[in-house]
Amino acid sequence: MAKKTRWAVIGAGIIGAAVAREILNRHDNADVTLFEKEDHPAAHQTGHNSGVVHAGLYYEPGSLKATLCRRGVSLLTDFAHDHNVAFDECGKVVVATDDTEVERLHAIHARALANGVPGIALIDRDGLRDVEPNAEGLAALHSPHTAIIDYPGLTDALVADFRAHGGRVRFSTPVRNIDHRGGATSHGSAIVHTPVDAQEFDHVVVCAGLQSDRLAARSGQKRTPTVVPFFGQYFILDEEYSDAVNGLIYPVPDPKYPFLGVHVTRRIDGGLMIGPNAFLSFSREGYRGLGLNIPDSLAVAADPGFWRFAAGNMATAARELPGVLSIERFVAEAARYVPSLAGADGHRATRGIRAQAMNRDGTLVDDFVIDRAGATMFVRNAPSPGATSALAIAEHLVGIIDGR
């Protein structure tokens, strides 16, 4: 009988859960342990996002984001159907409200075609009204196969499937650091240190999300790219507005700003939500109230990349701040392209926090970033569409380790 190959996966968000499952699916002789510092999966980014399954409209053709997003949609859809995870292919329109945005819409259309997004179409004002009667704009890009899903439910299903095939999960077990064993020319092995023990593994995959840079640094790897947290607020509209739109309604991205802007999103529970905005978070994991964490705030203040980013993005802060301070301004932004939402009431949802990787020069890291050190692989950046791409990212990571 072949000797078991020992694997560890750090982090039980959607990507970590998908990686752990993929290892067992691909390797009959794998012994896999999934470590998670919280007492349940999907506790952070996976459980605090908009629930959108992205089709791949915006991403640079040929990038990891573009290729893994398209593959990820297919894998995610099949898994959701096979495991009875709530999924709704409700469609999406990106709405242009002036001539400049119409020009940008054509560029997005070209990217979407290059990325192989199915069914993508440019539509005029009348076409927009056919798809979304309450939306207002000069033109729109229609993506009929963009969907919404229950990401926490999906992650629970991934973990359950992993366990059913012999995987081991250690909840409430933070990983302090990972030590490498082996020579310079060998992958060797790795020691995973927790507060209660240390175990040796043949392969370790780190999917630590908001803590990815810190765990990498504690494990002897470079500190950059660093994670700078940005929060996104969501506003759930009163039930009377639930039928205001049929699917998802997004603005046309403005290249002057690094973040997309407020959009209108159907929820998998049938409600309607607007958001998120994007503003500097004073905590990596503070989802309610002020969300103030002194060590996290000091880490941002000590990051030279952040100050370079801030110096070049004062206009972004000025655009986002009113929505942070005022629900009315937040709603008004969405009403620009769905006028019937003007003055809508509702309540704030738990905010999300984006693990935004940043270079020392203040530029935001756009594509997925994967580093390898001996027997350990670090996922250093996996922003949106990271959740959509999760099962494809898992295939990609395990394929690299397998030498494929």
Encode pLDDT of 274-324 as tens digits: 988 888 999 999 998 777 899 999 999 999 999 999 898 887 777 777 767
Per-residue confidence (pLDDT) for residue 185, from 0 to 100: 46
Confidence of residue 181 (pLDDT cuts 50, 70, 90): confident
CA count, 13 A, side-chain hemisphere, 59: 25
Share of the chain above pLDDT 70, in %: 97
Q: Is 180 domain-assigned?
A: yes
Per-residue confidence (pLDDT) for residue 184, from 0 to 100: 46
Residue 45 belongs to a domain with what CATH number? 3.50.50.60
Q: Is 272 domain-assigned?
A: no
Q: Is 287 domain-assigned?
A: no
Q: How far apart are CA 16 and CA 398, in angstroms?
A: 12
Q: How far apart are CA 402 and CA 396, in angstroms?
A: 10
Dihedral sign computed on CA atoms, order 74, 75, 77, 81: positive
Q: Is 330 domain-assigned?
A: no
Under 8 Å between Cβ of 32 and 24: yes
- The whole-number average pLDDT for the span 339-353 is 93
- The whole domain housing 385 covers 1-89+147-225+365-404
pTM exceeds cut of 0.85:
yes
Tally of domains within the chain: 1
Find, among 365, 64, 377, the residue nearest to 216 by Cα: 377
Q: Is 178 domain-assigned?
A: yes
Cβ atoms < 10 Å from Cβ of 170: 19
Q: How far apart are CA 48 and CA 351, in angstroms?
A: 7
> Is pLDDT above 80 for 246?
yes
Q: Is 324 domain-assigned?
A: no
Q: Is 198 domain-assigned?
A: yes
Per-residue confidence (pLDDT) for residue 404, from 0 to 100: 61
Q: What is the DSSP string of 313-332?
A: -HHHHHHHHHHHH-HHHHHH
Strand partners, 200: 191
Q: How far apart are CA 290 and CA 254, in angstroms?
A: 29
> Is pLDDT above 80 for 333?
yes
Dihedral sign computed on CA atoms, order 139, 269, 54, 42: positive
